[in-house]
Chain A
């Protein structure tokens, strides 16, 4: 175990480490999303430079799988076909053959960026969310969308099957475990859930827990729901981001997650992170352990002790927190749950010769979570 990441107290007592650092690798540019291959010998990382890279988790060796014309923002691995789907700020979804390293298809999903993408567990659907933040009111309320903010495509063919309306920018998306529902969350903390069989919106609510309006100097809206995931039983929807701030440019809102019974009308909040267990900083990833007993939320540490926290599903308590020394933007577990992979970045720096230093990071952890 590397010593830079010590377990933190859960509020009263120090806990036994359940997540231990095994390896850290550098990438030329920031990683924005990660997909973990079976047995976690490799991960696929979507990067700032547009590259989709396969990284050997042991050696750190990387090979390019494909490339976007702008930041690559999302990636998913399809075990059934050994394919990779990636999304990017070029608005495209790209299918890659992992073995041949060839592009299978490219779909122009949006005119603006794909902020996030998700693939249903049955590998039938891929969803991507978009939308630029544009001034829509005196206080910079977001303007209405100019293209559908949520799109669902068929994985097998790349055909567009659903276009759903939301208020841009829509920053996060997730499928229910059975693949029947897709949820998406935006800057203003609004969540919408659609039934893909009836093609109807079945839930919609807004939480004030993730959005700031800058009283002090950033006189606009900031923040939003940056990541979301359904519980493994599909009954709860978890949202992640950062709590409101008076000065959003301080970036020091509370690390935050909320859990909702989304099937109820109106959706009911079942819980949220305990105030005593959190620090400050934007949380950009929330993922469930494959066995469902824990989930991990990760992001940036502005103030506090951890930027990657493992929580018990049952009570929502923090089991372990790690200061990973990077801004985490993507997280994923191996299929057996024994490995946790984080991707992100440190700040850009230059060498003495003025050359940019590698600032992307991949970190691999051993897990004993349940």
Chain B
């Protein structure tokens, strides 16, 4: 088992990571400055950029916060009294049906891996969001890093201008998700692995250089701030100062790649293909960011899937959007040669009740729910697990969050059980209890 540190360097367990760092430094030195607008701009030498690009792994998490209903997506029960008004349709996989709201995914079912037997414990959003983002229950006072922070550390480069962990969420609100967003995403890995959030508008605010300041003047000011900040951090051994310095470095990087966050710079045909809604547009942005080197992008849209009321009225809109987004995203990644290097995870924090409440909505249900995976390390065209005829219980191959995280890490070539080796920390592993990955969905 390979030990992990929070330095993001020598202890990282992904071999390519160290090489990327060298490539990056060589490229940066050769070019004389780190000034870039895209992946090629990250490296002064085109050959180095292409090599790093070929080896970079990525992950896109379509975070369906609020928790989507398995019945109206991956595990329809049209003959059940609880099934709802949407029917099921056959997919490319013999005997497998999806909701009629997902005709596109039905057509590309042979590219997907669907898990229909997730069984987790928390029944409330905050606890479940926390669990499905960190992969383990809380153990205060220690804070386990989120999936995005872990993958940002493992797949990314601290020196990269493109943030290693990007959260695209247009809404600053979101009830429990808002609370979660305000929390500590990076945990014991440190603030440098926290997400850069683009929220409220398409573009990241406050990352443009002031118009009347020259590049040289800006660099000089940044250098002075960096020197003084590092001095303070070293002399006072200040974690807060370290975090602040990390944030400044990120902002500096963002200034150089802000255009990558600007949807208006993307082809209008792409924007039309994905659909006009905020979630669709941000997924397109995620594709663009991954194409330009971002290791981990999480796409959310507040907590919009939490339909305790108007469930059928809203799902007729939400699910077709998701369907269209998945189809276009996987198609684009495939066409760009990125699908074999990009893991796509599509999930929320739990499922919805089989039975309808008085408002004809579905409530929280962690006992039996579904998610889907595709891309790097994932077998194509597989459906794992099963629920009973009403979707009340998992009757075949139950999996929990630990199984899921072990699957994600294994799919990306990481040791799921690597031990964190951080001073002052008890023994923690990426995945605790040696939980098995979901072997059925893993390729090879």
By size class, the interface of chain B is 35 or more
Q: For residues 268 through 282 of chain B, which have their beta carbon under 8 Å from a beta carbon of chain A? A: 275-278, 280-281
Complex contact A138–B317 (CB within 8 A): no
Is B142 located at the chain interface by the 8 A CB criterion? no
Complex contact B309–A327 (CB within 8 A): no
B311 closest partner in A (C-beta) = A249
Complex contact B316–A132 (CB within 8 A): yes
Complex contact B81–A137 (CB within 8 A): no
Specify which chain A residues have a CB less than 8 angstroms from the CB of B360 in the assembled complex: 30, 327, 345
User: Interface 1/0s, chain B 165-186, versus A by CB < 8 A?
Assistant: 0000011011101000000000
Chain B at the A interface: SS class: loop
Is B359 located at the chain interface by the 8 A CB criterion? yes
User: Interface 1/0s, chain B 251-294, versus A by CB < 8 A?
Assistant: 00000000000000000000000011110110000000000000
| Distance of B37 from chain A, by nearest CB (Å) | 25
Is B148 located at the chain interface by the 8 A CB criterion? no
| Bound: A327/B359 CA distance, A | 7
B-binding segment of A99-107, A290-298, A348-356 = A348-356
Partner among A70, A217, A251, A282 whose Cβ is within 8 Å of the Cβ of B66: A217
| Bound: A28/B316 CA distance, A | 25
Is B85 located at the chain interface by the 8 A CB criterion? yes
Partner among A70, A71, A140 whose Cβ is within 8 Å of the Cβ of B277: A140
Is A59 located at the chain interface by the 8 A CB criterion? no
A89 closest partner in B (C-beta) = B85
Complex contact B356–A217 (CB within 8 A): no
Complex contact A133–B313 (CB within 8 A): yes
B-binding segment of A37-45, A218-226, A258-266 = A218-226
A-binding segment of B7-15, B296-304, B378-386, B394-402 = B296-304
Complex contact B175–A135 (CB within 8 A): no
Complex contact A133–B316 (CB within 8 A): yes
Specify which chain B residues have a CB less than 8 angstroms from the CB of A138 in the assembled complex: 276-278, 281
Is B355 located at the chain interface by the 8 A CB criterion? yes
By size class, the interface of chain A is 35 or more
Q: Given A215-B173, A248-B310, answer yes or no on A348-B304 (Cβ-Cβ < 8 Å).
A: no
| Bound: A215/B177 CA distance, A | 13
Specify which chain B residues have a CB less than 8 angstroms from the CB of A135 in the assembled complex: 275-277, 280, 317, 320-321
A135 closest partner in B (C-beta) = B277
A215 closest partner in B (C-beta) = B173
Complex contact B392–A354 (CB within 8 A): yes
Q: Given A136-B276, A348-B356, answer yes or no on A29-B309 (Cβ-Cβ < 8 Å).
A: no
| Bound: A169/B317 CA distance, A | 11
Partner among B82, B304, B308, B317 whose Cβ is within 8 Å of the Cβ of A214: B304
A223 closest partner in B (C-beta) = B310
- 19 residue pairs from A and B, CB less than 8 Å apart: A28-B81, A70-B87, A133-B317, A135-B317, A135-B320, A138-B281, A215-B173, A216-B303, A218-B307, A220-B304, A248-B309, A249-B308, A249-B309, A249-B361, A251-B310, A326-B358, A327-B358, A345-B360, A350-B355
